[in-house]
Structure 1
């Protein structure tokens, strides 16, 4: 069984008391001014803060990435629609001019067959 890596943010019990003889050997805590035993350590607040900060940043980054993708897709869709509207107008104008030219040429050609030039 592999051991879990030590997490400095979780306090550990470093001494295990077993049986009544261990209780007799333990020093009674009579004075409130005594220091806390070495086995009771304060949590490493800096490490806890760093892990919490990293976890929140990771969660927020995922949400930001999703929002950016949606926003970029919307902006691109709008830009493409505007470009297509502009292109449609320009293409319609070019097509109109081409059709007018083709029809005028066809009419002129047909009229030329119907009324040949007289010499």
Structure 2
């Protein structure tokens, strides 16, 4: 290949390496003879506290999910309120329009009556002066 000498410190893909995290009981049976020949002393591996791990994992997931739920709830509440306010405004607009229409009709009718009253008075007064 490159002509450089082979470095004995680099493991080959055919070698089996075990670290302290792999207990011998987990080594496949086919590799057991190779492992037995290797001068590796493995410390005893303590079993993890699965209950504590489960509890920490549950708490972490709940916190992550709660943050997402809070965000979704805020969005949903904002949407519901926006829809409710929009519907309320539509209803109020119709009621206000009807009230305004009625008020305008009354104001215009009163103004017309008032103006017609001013127009008829001079005609009535002038008939009194002329026989």
* TM-score bracket relative to the smaller structure: 0.5 to 0.7
Q: Is structure 2 residue 99 aligned with structure 1 residue 79? A: no
* C-alpha distance after superposition, 1:4-57 (max 9, x if no partner): xxxxxxxxxxxxxxxxxxxxxxxxxxxxxxxxx7x5310000000000000000
Mapped partners of 2:57, 2:118: distance in 1? 89
1:13 aligns with none
Higher helix share: 2
Query: Once superposed, what is the RMSD of the aligned Cα atoms?
Result: 1.7
1:114 aligns with 119
Alignment coverage as a number of residue pairs: 82
Listed as ranges, the gaps of 5+ residues in structure 1 are 1-36
2:8 aligns with none
Q: Work out which of the residue numbers 66, 72, 78 in structure 1 matches 2:71.
A: 66
Q: Work out which of the residue numbers 84, 90, 93 in structure 2 matches 1:88.
A: 93
TM-score of the superposition, structure 2-length normalised? 0.59
Relative contact order, CA 8 A, sep 6+: which one is greater?
A: 1
Listed as ranges, the gaps of 5+ residues in structure 2 are 1-42
1:52 aligns with 57
Whichever of the two has the greater Rg, that structure is: 2
TM-score of the superposition, structure 1-length normalised? 0.65
